[in-house]
Amino acid sequence: MSTMRQVAERAGVSAKTVSRVMHDDRYVSADVRQRVERAIAELGYVPNVLARTFRSGRDAVIGVAVPSISDPFFAALTGEVERVARARGVAVLVTSIGTDPAHEQAAVHALLGRQVTGLIMAPVAADQSYLRPCQDRTVIVFIDRPPARIVADSVVEDDLGGAHAATTHLLRHGHRRVGFVGDTLAIATTARRLEGYRAALADAGIDPDPGLVALTAASDEDSAKALVDLLSLPEPPTALFSSNARTSIGIIPALQAAGRTDVGLVSFGDFPLAAALQPPVTVIDQDPASVGRTAATRLFERLDHPNRRLKRRIVLPVPLISRGSCRGRPGPDCG
């Protein structure tokens, strides 16, 4: 890879002049411009972005830190962030934090050390105060889950409202024993969805049965097992609220295997083919692309206008898409 000075030498000019050509500076004669452009082409010169941005102290890169990029939800979200960033010529550095809270700080520091101008992250740990010192030079936008012990922008879905709506929807279809299937309360969104579920039961005057709450559905296998356990209770649930798309994808095959497609189901989070299943799955439409777009847009807004006053917390609505899985065996129609 050649450097700017090599190009300069070949064109018989100074490095600065090459820099001027690269930046379409007005004050370059046609003759010189042509010679430099030829030299650039001949050497296949690609400017060293590191050097440029190193000088200015800040790189045109934003970091994205999510639990897992493989997760379709975060993949779609990241993809949208990247779209917005690319439109502005900003690169995107991606890191998977994993689910271990202890690893969050290391993963985020790896990004900060690269002098990212902005950071979009889904917090996993219970405390993000370690990010405070960085806030004067790096804009941080939290996604999916609100941050703790730090003031920053966040873009979250309406977990509480969505869970409430989902549960209420099942209750309206005549279900009285509604189960909750989730991964773990350590994840803030799950905790809030459980809260919404409980609130809906309370609003309907139904006594919550702790035995109907399964918080072990971390993997597909665990989800399936949690389902089997719930269905083999003496008084099994007639409907389930699945607290995210992954648990839904885990329990649906198990439901089918058990021949219990009569069990009502609402999934927090849409997923491919939800409409093609029998019965089609009613979902709370938690749109990852819109979270990504909103977060990236906010990030750049902060970068462009550091002094503008904006509401810290953006809560995206999560509409319910009724498809049919909400009614019980002899249930009434969805509406």
Partner DNA sequence: TTTCTCTATGTCACCGGTGACAGACAACGG
Partner DNA sequence: CCGTTGTCTGTCACCGGTGACATAGAGAAA
Task: Work out how close the CB of 256 gets to DNA at its nearest, in angstroms, rounded to a whole number.
Answer: 56
Q: What is the rounded CA–CA span in Å between residue 267 and residue 255?
A: 14
Q: How far apart are CA 164 and CA 171, in angstroms?
A: 10
Is residue 257 within 8 Å of 232, Cβ to Cβ? Answer: no
273: region left, alpha or beta (phi > 0 left; psi from -120 to 50 alpha)? left
- Where does this chain bind DNA (CB under 7 A)? 3-5, 12-17, 19-20, 22-23, 25-29, 31-33, 47-48, 51-52, 54-57
Least distance from C-beta 39 to a copy of itself, angstroms? 14
94 binds a copy of itself (CB under 8 A): yes
Nearest by Cα to 130 from 115, 111, 109? 109
In angstroms, what is the minimal distance from the CB of 120 to DNA? Answer: 24
Name the binder of 78 from DNA, a copy of itself, none, CB < 5-8 A by kind: a copy of itself
275 contact choice in a copy of itself, DNA, none (CB below 5 to 8 Å, kind-dependent): a copy of itself
Q: Which does 25 bind (CB under 5 to 8 A by kind): DNA, a copy of itself, none?
A: DNA
Residue 56 binding target from a copy of itself, DNA, none, CB below 5 to 8 Å by type: DNA
14-73 residues in contact with a copy of itself (CB under 8 A) are 44, 46-51, 53-54, 59, 61, 68-72
Instruction: Report in angstroms how near the CB of residue 222 gets to a copy of itself at its nearest.
Output: 16
Q: Of residues 16, 109, 149, 313, which one binds a copy of itself by CB under 8 A?
A: 109
Contact letters for a copy of itself, residues 178-217 (x by CB under 8 A)? ----------------------------------------
Stretch binding a copy of itself (CB under 8 A), from 24-32, 91-99, 227-235, 317-325: 91-99
Q: What is the sign of the dihedral through the CA atoms of 304, 306, 308 and 309?
A: positive
Which of DNA, a copy of itself, none binds 314 (CB below 5-8 Å, type-dependent)?
A: none
Residue closer to DNA (CB basis): 43 or 218: 43
Between 13 and 107, CB nearer to a copy of itself = 107
Q: Among residues 295, 288, 179, 303, which one has the least CA distance to residue 243?
A: 179
CB of 233 to a copy of itself, least distance (A): 23
Work out whether 259 is an interface residue with a copy of itself (CB under 8 A): no
Nearer to DNA, 58 or 260 (CB): 58
Minimum CB distance to a copy of itself, residue 251 (Å): 10
CA 52 to each of CA 58, 93, 212: distance values in angstroms, whole numbers, following the listed order = 9, 18, 58
Smallest CA-to-CA distance from 121 within 103, 136, 133 is with 103
Residue ranges in contact with a copy of itself by CB under 8 A? 1, 44, 46-51, 53-54, 59, 61, 68-72, 75-76, 78-80, 82-83, 86, 91-96, 109-115, 133-134, 137, 249, 252-253, 256, 271-273, 275-278, 289
